[in-house]
Structure 1
């Protein structure tokens, strides 16, 4: 009888390669034949206590590491290490109260169930389509870049194991080295994507190469892992290999077509119910049970089931149901338990010193960098700094590496010391990536010195560049109709940049979208056969609109993937690079009556993002509240009716310039209602003086007088040029003395006719009686006083609203300084 493992004060004994037969804890011996505790009494409360301690400690560590911009995965592993024998696990009272053996076992079983569903979700997000879109050169560089780290990881493992005895077999050590090589050679795609998103270098060539390499590396890691399991059991290698090959063939050629057929016959309108998701969960558990019965492990079946599951609405629904529990409970639990099993204070093997461990970590860190220089040798396209950055990015590790290490430990291929060293090395690699990249690689944005930053600056023979942001397929039609109403002509064409905004999550789907975006084929047939899911639908709808409206409207499709908290940086950067004169962002509450998809999005985060874009936009920006824009024409005239309420100021002048452009369309009827100040005096409110000297009551009054003069000039020009437009344009002036009178006029005007679109200026930095008292009551300050009043009232439920804010150079510079 030998001690196979010792941790947390208990010892696990194994005799003749059999399973665990006896456990010693606190000097007592519990034999499976005479110990039958009540699992409800002994394990369930303890499980809850362990979850509370682990999640709370990982949250505290994450807050402490927040200034260093470390991921949650890092904090969860560190929390596990602190809970384990390294710190808290060395305290007998803590061990007795929170880590008895039977409760710890139940914790691992719970963790394994979460791992099954995580592996299913990982397989669900991974398919072979992106590989076909990666060019051959990148693929060759990726494969070559994997060989060196794999070889280095395999050979350097012998630095951290005790020297071999003359009578000791080398085969177990080779299998252990294989585990180490797999864990160190892989690159974790989700963590790499989050790093690139945080650094805002998603759209660089370095990022595209790194993501493509990481995607191929992930698939290669799983192939190596399945191979490891197949050869890990002595005397059963042939049976395991046959089972593995049969399993892959089954899921590839039989399971996938069968699942596609079942989904097709279930419903034809993609409206799935909760019980459809429950059937998918049953399929996950059945697949996990079958592969576990074959000896391959339950996670292999879950991954293969997800890998073979057809993409579409049902796959998205299933992923959304798993996401929260998996990302916030199961994955942190897995990382924490991995840290618990890694006693850092006891990781130096017998016969080795800390120098060997440090040397192993340095070699592991340098392997990817050396491979990047090796595969880039002779290439003049990348500088040394870019190659070094690529190598550091390839050191992004994550949950996949931990799974490899834990499987090696469960199969008794790695002992406690070796697995602890590998976990610690993975942790240090993860922590080093972001700080090094921030220090060595800065994506210097070249400021565009262009003058077309507003609608008024667009000449009669200039291209009107509009950047449109979309979250879902349902927003495409409203944006498309707005572009049509923007009056593209042969002299002044419209170049639209359609940006699909995708929230960065814990899954690889976001990274796969980047691969799709970077290596997209220009073939129309290729799109129809390969694109799927919401992202594919958005891109396909945008490109279909571009084909229908060319050549007057040219369309460029892009994907911006980031957390909502920093997505405004991507939007503003794209607008700067594309020299856009107008940005259109959708309001966070969409009520177009088509479906509930917009309601399922994070409205609070989208609203916060919109506010940041409004504060930092490098050009004019419009917020579109879509109530079904352009779905129907006016029943009386067969034309689109557009109304604008004009108070004054730079935002209103910009809005008037936009509807002025629309008014020249033959099927558009434009109504402009101008509010004129009455005899009542206007009370100015104090304002803070900024760095340029603007602000203060006197300055605001002087500026307001100047703005009124500019308003009179523009209105006079508008009247003279629209006089030849016949009955399609009408201008009326209404005297108002308060915000209440303004609302009464707006209500009466909008209820008289069926308007499809209402365009107004946000109203920054103006003093007017027409909106006095309204801004303080506004629910959505980002819409301005009048915009908020129209959107939040029931003046006209079928009218879409566009709120315009003109580009302010001084405000933009202040926003950039705050970002820096």
Structure 2
């Protein structure tokens, strides 16, 4: 028994917990979390997009998160109920939601032939995040998809569904053993399931810099393989003169303490990693005509917002990294209207009524522990 446990721990420690280092044609493990039936359509759309290439297999799991009832409404046993009465626990343990989720998932599997393994977690919302994180580790998935705590109403406004979802999302972001994506579903005006669709879905990857943006770009490697997806990478670069070299940064900081010099050195290293990653992506996918690529030069957060307004109605899905980029001139002053820090500055702006976009949003956070091991910057 000890040997089995040791072998299990060793094998679990070796599987990739981030998409950036995963071969695009290796099997991708996904854990999608839903609370109510309306969460299913958005998550199966992501699964459909990621499973569009036969040579790049995926292994998706969907877990229905149900709050553990505090106490039973009726003390009667099932056989003691009168004819026509419903056993109270059936409602409290998922009720009709279970049937609707099962039906929606069965229809998706039948249409796409993508097998989705389904399960249910019944726990207190105060600790259910632990079950999600433990489940992701046991299933050896690379990314967890979580629903946003707001949903789009018929009139187009975003309404708070369950405040508990937001707290759970924040806990999973802090403690997950893999990367995490929060999906803001815009319903019929947002991202739709590409499998079986007659029209092509336009998707934009917003790349600023940092490990989270690289993880978002790595996620797009799987999505662009789908025949019904048209993907464009939009890279935001600072509008500065090329004459200012990295040496001038170091000279300016030489009068300050050692920590500032180390911070500048880390930023330079991070930029090199970003540039190398984007260049590799460009050569492999953009140069081959499999994805589009646009560079936007901005000098402030206001100019970044202006660009986002221009492209707001051009895409059904926006994918962006949560952050991890520290102080960035490209997103300066954008925190003035920040409402949901768990989405990062750019993701929060896209999800807010400030831009009023109709497309869905996927905010990706790279596994934080892997950054520490790699020497990358954190939030």
* TM-score, normalised by the number of residues in structure 1: 0.37
Partner residue, 1:661: 222
1:544 maps to which of 107, 119, 132: 107
Q: Is the 8 A contact 2:299 2:329 kept in 1?
A: yes
Partner residue, 1:704: 267
Does residue 641 (structure 1) correspond to residue 202 (structure 2)? The answer is: yes
1:569 maps to which of 130, 133, 140: 130
Query: Which is richer in strand?
Result: 2
Distance 1:539 1:644 in 2: 32
Q: Is the 8 A contact 2:343 2:363 kept in 1?
A: yes
Instruction: State the superposition RMSD in angstroms.
Output: 3.1
Distance 1:479 1:592 in 2: 18
Partner residue, 1:198: none
Q: CA deviation at 1:506?
A: 2.0
Q: CA deviation at 1:589?
A: 0.6
Change (3 A) 1:500 1:771: same
| Structure 2: unaligned runs, 5 residues or longer | 1-7, 74-93, 250-257, 374-379
1:808 maps to which of 368, 371, 375: 368
Distance 1:804 1:502 in 2: 24
Q: Is the 8 A contact 1:543 1:557 kept in 2?
A: no
Partner residue, 1:677: 238
Distance 1:765 1:630 in 2: 27
Q: Is the 8 A contact 1:504 1:562 kept in 2?
A: yes
Partner residue, 2:28: 464
Q: Is the 8 A contact 2:207 2:321 kept in 1?
A: yes
Q: Is the 8 A contact 2:150 2:161 kept in 1?
A: no
Partner residue, 1:495: 59
Change (3 A) 1:499 1:595: farther
**What's the secondary structure of 1:564's corresponding residue?**
coil
2:141 maps to which of 558, 580, 587: 580
Distance 1:632 1:673 in 2: 23
Q: Is the 8 A contact 1:623 1:803 kept in 2?
A: yes
**What's the secondary structure of 2:144's corresponding residue?**
strand
| Structure 1: unaligned runs, 5 residues or longer | 1-444, 510-530, 685-694, 814-820
Does residue 788 (structure 1) correspond to residue 352 (structure 2)? The answer is: no
Structure 1 residues 653-802: aligned runs within 5 Å? 653-679=214-240, 697-723=260-286, 725-726=288-289, 729-751=291-313, 753=314, 755-775=315-335, 777-802=337-362
Partner residue, 2:186: 627
Distance 1:793 1:658 in 2: 26
Distance 2:25 2:236 in 1: 32
Q: Report the more deviating stretch, 473-482 or 764-773.
A: 764-773
Query: Which is richer in helix?
Result: 1
**What's the secondary structure of 1:657's corresponding residue?**
helix
Q: CA deviation at 1:593?
A: 4.0
Q: CA deviation at 1:700?
A: 3.2
Distance 2:65 2:372 in 1: 22
Q: How many residues are aligned here?
A: 327
Distance 2:372 2:61 in 1: 21
**What's the secondary structure of 1:458's corresponding residue?**
coil
Q: Is the 8 A contact 1:575 1:583 kept in 2?
A: yes
**What's the secondary structure of 1:618's corresponding residue?**
coil
Distance 1:803 1:744 in 2: 20
Superposed CA deviations along residues 137-192 of structure 1, whole A, max 9, x for unmatched, are xxxxxxxxxxxxxxxxxxxxxxxxxxxxxxxxxxxxxxxxxxxxxxxxxxxxxxxx
Distance 1:759 1:501 in 2: 25
Change (3 A) 1:712 1:609: same
**What's the secondary structure of 1:590's corresponding residue?**
strand
* TM-score, normalised by the number of residues in structure 2: 0.78
Q: CA deviation at 1:780?
A: 0.7
**What's the secondary structure of 2:311's corresponding residue?**
helix
Q: Is the 8 A contact 1:642 1:670 kept in 2?
A: yes
**What's the secondary structure of 1:554's corresponding residue?**
coil
Q: CA deviation at 1:564?
A: 1.7
Superposed CA deviations along residues 13-69 of structure 1, whole A, max 9, x for unmatched, are xxxxxxxxxxxxxxxxxxxxxxxxxxxxxxxxxxxxxxxxxxxxxxxxxxxxxxxxx
Q: Is the 8 A contact 2:29 2:59 kept in 1?
A: yes
**Which of the pair has the greater relative contact order for Cα pairs under 8 Å at 6+ separation?**
2
Partner residue, 1:170: none
Q: Is the 8 A contact 1:648 1:766 kept in 2?
A: no
